[in-house]
Amino acid sequence: MPTEVVHMTNVLRYYGENPELVEKYRQIEKNGKCPFCPDGIIDNEFQIVGKTPDWTLVVSQFPYKGAEVHLFILPKRHVISSTDLMFFEWADWPEILEIAVNKYPLLKKGFGLAMREKTLGGVTLHHLHFHLIVPKANSEGGAEIPVNFGIG
């Protein structure tokens, strides 16, 4: 596990106007445990939607403004970069997406899949994770408001 779990500069840049969320990150930084790792606090802190041998699907505690659905897809193994994933983990990817679509049929209408990598990419936590997001739809079927996903 990295010595730095939280990248506080990025936390403050993205979430500085949300004191509750900033405090949550400060607590993670203080205890030094990665909340996305199985030996972290994931089972107590996140609503788990589904699991495969290599991935865990959870509901975001702090969904982005404009999101109808905001899920995290987390590798069970602590990795920081997508280049650290093994072939068997990527091979398990369709199964975790199938779980997401079955639990949230709204995903069939469309979704965004996003991730940040490392400090330059704008990570807040040093554990690779993917954001699976469905924006709230307007009456025409388009996004009610855009969901902004900062990077860099």
Q: Provide the residue ranges of all domains of the chain, joining segments of one domain with +.
A: 35-134
Q: 15-71: per-residue pLDDT in tens?
A: 899 999 999 999 999 988 888 887 765 556 789 999 999 999 999 988 888 999 999
Question: How confident is the prediction for the chain on average, in pLDDT?
Answer: 89
Percent of the chain with pLDDT over 70: 94
pLDDT of 139 over the 90 cut: no
Contact of 76 with 38, CB cutoff 8 Å: yes
Res 140: pLDDT:
84
Q: 70-83: per-residue pLDDT in tens?
A: 999 999 999 999 99
Res 4: pLDDT:
81
Contact of 129 with 115, CB cutoff 8 Å: yes
| Residue showing tokens 């993917």 | 130
pLDDT of 115 over the 90 cut: yes
Q: Show Cβ contacts of residue 79 under 8 Å, excluding neighbours closer than 6 positions.
A: 85, 127, 128
Q: Distances from the Cα of 102 to the Cαs of 33, 44, 93, in angstroms? A: 31, 23, 14
Cα–Cα distance measured from residue 27 to residue 8, given in angstroms and rounded to the nearest whole number: 11
Res 43: pLDDT:
55
Pick the CATH number of 35-134 from 3.40.50.12280, 3.40.50.720, 3.30.428.10, 3.40.50.2300: 3.30.428.10
pLDDT of 2 over the 70 cut: no
